[in-house]
Structures are given as structure tokens and as C-alpha cells.
Amino acid sequence: MPHSHSSDDSFARSAARPLALFGGAAVLALVLLMFLLDFLAGLASAGGAGTATGVDVERQEITVYLREEPPQLNSMLATDAVSGMVLGHVMEGLLRYDENSQIVPGLAERWEINGTRAVFHLRENARWSNGEPITAADFEYAWKTALDPATASQYAFIFYAIKNAEAANTGSLPVSEVGVRALDARTLEVELEQPVAYFDKLVAFVTYLPVSAAFHRQMGERYGADADTMLYSGPFMLTSWVHGASLRMERNPHYWDQDRVRLNAINAAYITSDSNTLLNLYKDGRIVQVDLSAEMLEGAMQQRWHLDRFMDGSVFFIDFNHRPERVTRNLNLRQAMQLAQNSNELVDRVIKLPGYLPAKSLFPVWLQGVERPLREEYPAPEAPYDVALAREYLERARQELGLTQFPPLVLLADTSPVATISSQYYQEVFKRNLGLDIIIDAQTFQQRLAKMDAGDFDIVLSGWGPDYNDPLTFADLYASWNLNNRGRFASERVDALVRQAQSSTDNAARMAAFGEIQQILFDEVALIGNYERGRVYATDPRVKGILRRVFGAEVDYTNAYIEVAP
Amino acid sequence: MSPTELPQGLSAADFLPLERRDHAQGISRPSRSYWQDAWARLRRNRRALASLWIIVGLLAFALVGPALWRVDPARQDIDQISQGPLADRSATVVAPYAAWNGQAAAGYENGSGLRLAQAGNSQAVRLIWDAVPEASALRLYRNIFPVEADMAFGLPIAEFASGAAGFYEDRLDLRPGTYHYSLVALNADRSLSTRYEVLEVEVARVITLDEVRARALVPETTVLAEGDAVNLALHPLGTDYLGRDMLARLMAGARVSLFIGIVAPVLYVLLGVLYGSTAGFLGGRVDQWMMRFADFVVALPFLLFMILFQVVFGIGPGESGIAPMLAALVLLAWPATARLVRGQILQIRHQAYISASRLLGAPDWYLVLRHMIPNTLGVILVTLTFAVPSAIFTEAFLSFIGMGVAPPTASWGSMSNEGLATMLTHPHELIFPALFISITVLAFNLLGDGLRDALDARMRSLE
């Protein structure tokens, strides 16, 4: 039917012009709307007096981010780094670390540790944020409550150096038997199980923070769950906590050392761990500091940002499952895997972030020995990268295990970008060099720990950050009784050495013990070192004095100040 | 009028039966079947035809490609991480890396300030410097851009506790090109002073003999000496963030994407056709109940079922989620097709030609096969071609959020996800997989569009 055809065509032709006009008008209207909204948004933000800026010079405020929401801020229960960071600003204990990671007086103006007896003398002007004095009883209460089995504090073991603490925590003695006593309002006496060389460093840990007894009893379960259900002893206090959205810390007028604090407020306005979001926030001047990932470095150099780096003190390594049913219990297999990889390549070529160091030992390079760094006094034994030798060990392992072929090994890793890339790197390295099939089991951090507890892995990309400034915080990781020894590595010699390091006050003997532990862990291939973690970060040039720390708050804004260009 | 008298002009012969003839009516043009007709129309649609060829090409890329480009998609070429397409890949053979004690090599003994201890190469850049007076500490920076008055030194590489003379070996991710090293004196409070020295270093790409052998860059028989030039492995489309060949990964990814993209829709469209035609043909109460069940299936959340299927299938972590993805797609996506086909069948059932056929005694199976299926086939095929891109997209999305393939298996979706992180610095890692997804989805959509026009029986009248 040619007739209908042509009528269709003519219809299309006649409709085309109005359609084109309508389309053009619609696009134009949208563009105009866009400009209008942009203009209005500009007006609105100008009216808001710059609340969105990272640095508020007038009010002496800075805006920062948190990687995630703190689960709660009860110092007796805190385990994670974000809680530690917030608590590092709003709370202060007896002692604290200074900018060089040395112990300095906090709420205690002086202290004596003689053998098994330690006495702390509190400052006269130590005050809670409601103006009431902080007493020795507040410390006694906090420590005993944390040790109470009913509290179920995961970090209760940090008190085990104190007399009867372990017994009280396991329930075999009442908490009142623990060797902590407030002699008077300003004197705290601690009895230790045995002399502990590093007790002052333990006291600076977050679980040792004070808690006002009366206030805690009044709040009950709600203590530390909101801004107004806590009392603060630190340079700042929490004035607002919008769950899942923001936190605000303001200067604490009752803090004893007002000279140390120059900012009026720290606004943790963003809670996100997405590195691209954070980068954009920093680019827009909405936050004062941002950590950079390897892909961002080129852009940062192009923007001509001033970069800094910092080693956060933690060590990451491949940990093995030593449970009887696992092939990774076989020493030759572990030895083969150690010889078939090269952590230099991982750090220099794959992770490619300055600040990262190849890990050669469980003990990171920064730990202090007797006079020089521990790793200089006891150099870490190094395995060569030797694929041929590795294959010989693998063959021996195969024969010992009576296998025709190795089963696929489950590599447990968490979902952080560096863990993801490392796990894929090792998957191919072990496949190429040893012919081992690796199945990557990527889990969230919490889930990774749960699976490690359950022994649901062959090898795992694990890591450890120090709790206090002593090599023991790493050394006891492979003690057979340590709950963090999730691969169930067991060596009587290591256990004995750890006990010796715990009880001895002879520094040289302790360091020798650590050196021997390092050698045993290498000989037994208890772990394969991956990297010591570093951070590269950019800081707003107007803000000075932000500290990155290994102990205490990982980012410390307490001493920060805003420097206005002349 | 007598009964024997015939009307005028007619004879008795006119009342005899005709002889049987094969062609009662002459047809001037050759008869074309429905399919011939549709093909002819599709062929005239240039967009659809081009799409068809693209799809054929993609299938060949996925199926034949890996036989021609024999590179393991999981193999990591650590020398060429995040390398762009067609990048320079020449390298010079050098001696194996050896630890360094801070001594300057021959020809580099003299000089002052910050200087090289030997020629810089991608194995290491070795720097030495003289003592910096009045510096309490030194920090070494590296930049790929020149340092100007704004003192943007770039990456902080190392820090030294005193201003004494020292040395440092930089091995961090050295690529061929120019680097600007700066040694900056620090004040007592660790802040940067304004005293610094800059050294420009040219870095050449090098490789050791062992590495050449391990990576099989030259034939076994070739004799190489230090100083010889070799070419690193060829990667026509570059490499990803672990140095894996993009072309090989795209081919491997095409298999996953096209498998899901074609198998899943074929299965669920088939299921939908069976279900829909049954419901439509039977009609009445059965139809009502069947369609309410279809509505119920529509309401089921896909992602949740995908996870449930992973559990049911016993897919552990680190194993491919393709099977549960297929199951979830087939079991949850059919209602749309079923509704469409049911509607068509209901419509056709009341058409006059069906009634006519029924009147002539056609049985049910004949009605279905001869009249109903051919008349819905166009709709079915169009649904199928539109379902393919949506399935490919679903696969890409699920792999993007980490619920699809397990590493090291590649799929376009997972490659896009991985490329996202390096989008600004190495865009090819995102662009290539994204381009393949886009082209595939577009080709299937355009083909579906063309098929709809070609297969529409009512369009035939316009010819």
C-alpha cells in the first residue's frame, strides 16, 4: 500500500519540526534550571557562614573525618582504632605519650615504680568535664570494672601484670582482691604480680583511662553511648554525637593543661572510609588532612600538595594455620612458600606507597632495643628468593604429607584495598612458582577475625599493631596462650622466652629473648613478613601541629593550630 | 423456455468439471516465507546488520581469541604494571641486583651535595650526599614534576635523623622517565626549612638476565650479554594494576559476560514462553492463578535470592558465583516474558483466523504450532535480544560489587571495578572493559530493535 507509506512519511515530516523545537526548549530549560540552582546553592552556602570549610580561622575550628563510627566510647570496652582516636582527645589517663612516643605525665604529676609496687600521685587540678575532681578512686573503679568478668572487656588482659588481675578476670577471685587501691583522693597504689619493665607504658593504654564511679553507675549501660552520657578528662569533650553522621569535640574548660590546647573545636563532620570521597572532600577544602592511596600520588604531585609520610607501627604478614588437619602445619610447605616470595617486590612494585617497608620480621624496625633499635642489635634473618630451592622443599612436603597433589589453599584476607591487591599478588606468585592453587576468601575485618578464631583458613593476611611501646606487644603474639595466636602456633621455647621477657626487668636479657624469638619464628616459618604499614597524607597548609602517632590517638589534633599567612 | 434449452452463449461443455490443475492462480512473484521476508527486511536495516556483525565478532573474540592470543590472563608482569596500550617496552640487560654499601661507582666519585652514586635505572636509584650544616635532620623527596618556588617536593621517600653525609637507595616503583629528587634540611621541630637541594635523575628501564629467562622474553638459544637491549612482553591493550594483560583478560571476561548474557536469557525466555502460552491458552481460572504466581515472583528481590542461591549451592568464598547468578536470573526473570506471551496468546486466541481454523476442524496442537507460536515468535525474539544486554549488565553489576567471578578470573564487570581505582592515572584499565560492555549492550539493543521491525508480521503489508 504505497499510499499509507507516503502518509506515514508526511506525518513524520510534519511532526519533526515541533518535536525538534520542543526538545530544544526542554534542553534550554534544563540548562537554565541548572544555573539557577547553582546560583541559589551559592547564595545558601554564603549565608551559612562557611560551616562547610575545613579550617575556620575565626572560630579556631577544624573539620576532620572518621573512618568509621566508634562502636561506643566506653574506655573499658574500646578495642578499635577509631574509638582510640576519639578517646585520645577527650580522655587523659595517668600517663600519656608525647610527640616522640615517650611517656610523659598526664593526670599523674609524678609516679614511682619500685619492683612490684607502683604509686601514682594525681594532680590537684585534675577535673572531670563537669568540674568535679578526678580522684584515685576513679582509676581503681575503672580498672576493677574492666577486669570484672561481667564487663567482658576484650582488653582486660592488658591488666594482667597487676596482682590477682588474671584470677579476677577469669572469675577465680573476687575483683576486690585485685592489687589496685586508692590510698587517698590523690594517691593510687598498684601491686604487681612481678616486676614489669614496661608498666608505665601499659598505663598509657586506653583501657587504663579513669571512669567516674558515681557517673558510670548513674548511666549504667548507656555510659559512653552518647555525648552526654560520659564525663571527660581530656583536653576536649564531646559536645555532640549524631550517630552515623558526625561528632563534635570542643575544648574542655576543666582540663588541667590549657596551654597545650589551641583549637576551640574539632568537627568530625564526615564518617566514611571511601578514599575517593575523602580525596574530593580534601580537594574542596572541607577536611584538613587526607590519606592518599598509591593511585592518588600522581594527582597529588600534579596539584603540588605538600605530602608527609608516617609509619603507623603495625606489621602485616602471612600467618599459617597450624591446626593438625591443615597441610600448612607442614614445615617444608611453609619453608617452600617463604622461599618462593619476595616482599620487596610486593612493597616496591605492587603496593608502591612510600612509607611502606618490606617486613623482614615480626618485630618492626622502629622498636627500641637496649641502646640502638632492636632490629639493628638483632638483625632479622632473611630467606633468599629462590624458586628452585622452594620447589625442592615443596616436593619434600608433598612426600611427607603423602599427597599426590596439594589441595587448594584458602587464603583469608580482608577487603581493604591493600589486602585485596596483596592477596591477588600472592595468589599468582604461589601458582606460578609452586603450582599451588590459592582460593581467596575476602572478608570484612571483623569477619576475618571471626574466621581466624574458628580456624577456617590455611593462610591468612594478618597484621598486628602495637598496644604499648615495648617489643613484647609483638613477641607474645605467638605465645601458645595468646588468644590472638589464631593459627595456634605452639613452641615451648617461644612460650618460655615470652614468660622470661614478661617477668624480667633486665633490659639486655629481655632483648636477647626477643632476638631468639625472632630466630625461632624464622626457623619455624611461623609467619612470612609482608610489609610494615605506612601512610602518605596531605595536610591543609594552614593547619600545623597535627601529630600522627603509633600509640594513643592515631591522628592527634590536640596540639594543632591554625596558622594564618601574614 | 424448455428445460433442454441452454441460455445463450453457454454450451453443455461449460458444465463439465474442470481438469485438475496445479496452479489455480498464477503468482507473478516468487513466494517468500515469513523468515525469508524478515531476513530481507533485516538486511536492509544497516544498523541492525552492523550490530549482528559486531555480535559475531564478539563471539569470535571470546571463543577464538584465546586460541590466537595465548597469554594467561592471570599472569602478572611485574615489570609492566598499569602500562598503557602500545607503551615503549624496550629494556637494557644489567647485572642482578646486589645490596649496596653507599660507595659511589666508577665515574661517580667526584661531586658535591646531593648526587648520583651510579647511573639511575629502574632497578634502583642510588643517591649520596654530603653533610648539610645546621640541619637537625634530612628528608628525601621524589617528584615527577620539577620542584619550583612553592617547594612542592612530591613524595616523601625517606628521613634521616641527622644532617650528616649519607646515602639512600630508592627502589620504589621506578618507571622510565625523569625524577626530581630533593634533599630538604629539617628544623629542630621537624618542620621543613627553606634549604634544599634538587637533583634531576633520568631513569632507564633495565632487566636482569634471570628475569629475561624467567619471563621467556627471548628464545632459549639467544645469547645475551649485559648492555644488550631486549623488549619486554607485548601487551597490545596495556596491563592492569597487577601487570596482567588487558587483552587476555578482556577475552576471558567476554566468555563470562557472553555466557551469562546468552544462556540466562535463552533459558528464562524459554521458561517464560512455556508458562505464558500455557496460561494464555488455557485461560480462565488457571490463567488467573498462574499469573498471580508470576506477580509473586516479580516481587522477589533479586539480590537477596542471588545470595540465598550462593548459600544453597554451597558456593564458598573465593569460588565463582556464576552458577547461582544463572539460577537466580532464570528463576526470577521469566515473569516479564510470560506476561508478554500470555497477552499475545490471549489476543490471538480471539482473532478471526483462529476461529476460522477451528471451524475447519483444526486441533489445539495445530492451532498452537501453526498460528500462535509463529505469531508470537517475533515478540519472543525481540524480548530475547533485549534480555541479553540486561543480563550482561546484571553480570557486570554483580561482578562489580564482588558477587560474581572470583579472582583471578576476569569479567568485564570486575575489571571495571578494579579499573575504577586507577581511573584518573591509568584510564585504560576502566575504559576498555567499560567500552566492551557498552558496545555489547548497544549491539544487542540495536539488533533487537531491527528484529522487532523485521519480525513484525503486520509490517509486511507495507512492502
- The pLDDT tens digits of the residues spanning B208-245 come to 888 888 888 888 777 888 888 888 888 888 898 888 99
Residue B75 with chain A: CB contacts under 8 Å: 428, 432
Residue A411 with chain B: CB contacts under 8 Å: 318
CA nearest A4 in B: which residue? B462
**Cβ–Cβ contact A277 with B under 8 A:** no
The reply to whether residue A440 touches residue B407, judged by beta carbons under 8 angstroms, is yes
Which residue among A294, A295, A308 places its CB closest to the CB of B156? A308
pLDDT given at position B25: 65
**A-interface mutation test, from B168, B172, B213, most A Cβ less than 10 A away:** B172
**A-interface mutation test, from B143, B205, B424, most A Cβ less than 10 A away:** B424
DSSP string, A226-284: SGGG----SSEEEEEEETTTEEEEEE-TT-S-GGG---SEEEEEEE---HHHHHHHHHT
**A52: confidence class by pLDDT, cuts 50, 70, 90:** low
**Cβ–Cβ contact B241 with A under 8 A:** yes
Is A411 within 8 Å of A459 (Cβ atoms)?
yes
Is B179 within 8 Å of B128 (Cβ atoms)?
no
| Nearest CA-CA distance, residue A3 and chain B, Å | 9
Residue A544 with chain B: CB contacts under 8 Å: 191
For residue A466, the Cα-to-chain-centroid distance in whole angstroms is: 9
pLDDT given at position B432: 92
Is B103 within 8 Å of B117 (Cβ atoms)?
yes
Q: Which three cell numbers stand for residue A82?
A: 577509631
Averaged over A105-118, what is the pLDDT?
A: 91
The reply to whether residue A306 touches residue B151, judged by beta carbons under 8 angstroms, is yes
The reply to whether residue B242 touches residue A350, judged by beta carbons under 8 angstroms, is yes
Residue of A511 and B8 predicted with greater confidence = A511
pLDDT given at position B106: 80
DSSP B240: -
Instruction: Report pLDDT digits (tens) over B88-110.
Output: 888 888 888 888 888 888 888 77
Please give the C-alpha separations between residue B247 and each of B256, B302, B401, B410, in angstroms, as whole numbers: 15, 32, 22, 11
Q: Which CATH superfamily is domain A68-271 in?
A: Dipeptide-binding Protein; Domain 1 (3.90.76.10)
Of B429, B405, B435, B408, give the one whose Cα is nearest residue B80: B429
pLDDT given at position A164: 92
**Cβ–Cβ contact A246 with B under 8 A:** no
Contacts of A303 (CB under 8 A, 6+ apart): A283
Percentage above 90 pLDDT, chain A: 49
**A-interface mutation test, from B208, B211, B241, most A Cβ less than 10 A away:** B241
Instruction: Report pLDDT digits (tens) over A115-146.
Output: 889 999 999 999 999 999 999 999 999 999 99
The reply to whether residue A440 touches residue B318, judged by beta carbons under 8 angstroms, is yes
Lowest-confidence pick of A214-223, A461-470, B6-15, B121-130: B6-15
DSSP string, B386-442: HHHHHHHHHHHHHHHTTSSPPTT---HHHHHHHHHHTTTT-THHHHHHHHHHHHHHH
Interface of A with B in 33-52 (CB under 8 A): none
Cis amide linkage into residue B73, ω under 30° from 0: no
DSSP A287: S
pLDDT given at position A6: 45
**A1: confidence class by pLDDT, cuts 50, 70, 90:** very low
Predicted model pTM: 0.82
Measured CA to CA, the distance from residue B351 to residue B338 in angstroms comes to 20
Please give the C-alpha separations between residue A227 and each of A212, A263, B33, in angstroms, as whole numbers: 15, 19, 79
Q: Which three cell numbers stand for residue B441?
A: 549492550
Which residue among A5, A295, A347 places its CB closest to the CB of B462? A5
Q: Domain ranges in chain A?
A: 68-271, 312-534
The reply to whether residue A427 touches residue B407, judged by beta carbons under 8 angstroms, is yes
Provide the β-strand partners of residue B185: B138
**Cβ–Cβ contact B317 with A under 8 A:** yes
Neighbours of A239 (CB within 10 A): 16
**Cβ–Cβ contact A424 with B under 8 A:** yes
Interface of A with B in 460-479 (CB under 8 A): none
Measured CA to CA, the distance from residue A348 to residue A356 in angstroms comes to 9
Is A227 within 8 Å of A240 (Cβ atoms)?
yes
CA nearest B76 in A: which residue? A428
Which residue among B242, B319, B426 places its CB closest to the CB of A421? B242
Average pLDDT value for chain B: 84
pLDDT given at position B108: 81
DSSP string, A528-557: EEEEEEEEEEEE-TTEE--EE-SSS-SEE-
Of B321, B323, B245, give the one whose Cα is nearest residue B65: B245
Is A463 within 8 Å of A419 (Cβ atoms)?
no
The reply to whether residue B318 touches residue A425, judged by beta carbons under 8 angstroms, is no
**A254: confidence class by pLDDT, cuts 50, 70, 90:** very high
Regions of chain B with pLDDT less than 70: 1-4, 23-29, 316-318, 457-463
pLDDT given at position A29: 93
3-state secondary structure of A313: strand
Rg of chain B over Cα atoms, rounded to whole angstroms, equals 36
Measured CA to CA, the distance from residue B238 to residue B87 in angstroms comes to 7
DSSP A360: -
Q: What sign for the dihedral angle of Cα A167, A171, A177, A179?
A: positive
Is B128 within 8 Å of B113 (Cβ atoms)?
no
Q: Largest Cα–Cα distance of chain B, in whole Å?
A: 147
Beta A459-464 vs A409-414: how paired, if at all? parallel
pLDDT given at position A9: 54
Q: Which three cell numbers stand for residue B209?
A: 638476565
For residue A522, the Cα-to-chain-centroid distance in whole angstroms is: 26
The reply to whether residue A301 touches residue B318, judged by beta carbons under 8 angstroms, is no
Cis amide linkage into residue B408, ω under 30° from 0: yes
**Cβ–Cβ contact A305 with B under 8 A:** yes
Give domain A312-534's CATH architecture: Roll (3.10)
Helices first, then strands: H and E counts in chain A: 17, 22
The pLDDT of residue A97 is above 50: yes
pLDDT given at position B461: 42
Contacts of B438 (CB under 8 A, 6+ apart): none
Interface of B with A in 127-156 (CB under 8 A): 142-145, 148, 150-156
pLDDT given at position B457: 60
The reply to whether residue B81 touches residue A1, judged by beta carbons under 8 angstroms, is no
Is B319 within 8 Å of A439 (Cβ atoms)?
yes
**Cβ–Cβ contact B96 with A under 8 A:** no
Residue A432 with chain B: CB contacts under 8 Å: 75-76
The reply to whether residue B317 touches residue A352, judged by beta carbons under 8 angstroms, is no
The reply to whether residue B144 touches residue A441, judged by beta carbons under 8 angstroms, is no
Measured CA to CA, the distance from residue A148 to residue A295 in angstroms comes to 47
Apex A557 CA angle, A240 and A134, nearest 5: 65
Beta B155-160 vs B115-116: how paired, if at all? unpaired
**Cβ–Cβ contact B225 with A under 8 A:** no
Is B67 within 8 Å of B255 (Cβ atoms)?
no
CA nearest A386 in B: which residue? B210
Residue of B379 and A106 predicted with greater confidence = A106
Measured CA to CA, the distance from residue B143 to residue B153 in angstroms comes to 6
CA nearest A300 in B: which residue? B154
pLDDT given at position B4: 64
Q: Which residue ranges form the domains of chain B, and what is each CATH number?
A: 50-69+242-462 (1.10.3720.10), 93-208 (2.60.40.10)
pLDDT given at position B100: 86
Lowest-confidence pick of A12-21, A55-64, A430-439, B55-64: A12-21
The pLDDT of residue A5 is above 60: no
Is A170 within 8 Å of A120 (Cβ atoms)?
no
Averaged over A6-18, what is the pLDDT?
A: 61
pLDDT given at position A469: 85
| Nearest CA-CA distance, residue A256 and chain B, Å | 25
The pLDDT of residue A110 is above 70: yes
Give me the residue label for grid cell 622510565. Answer: B176
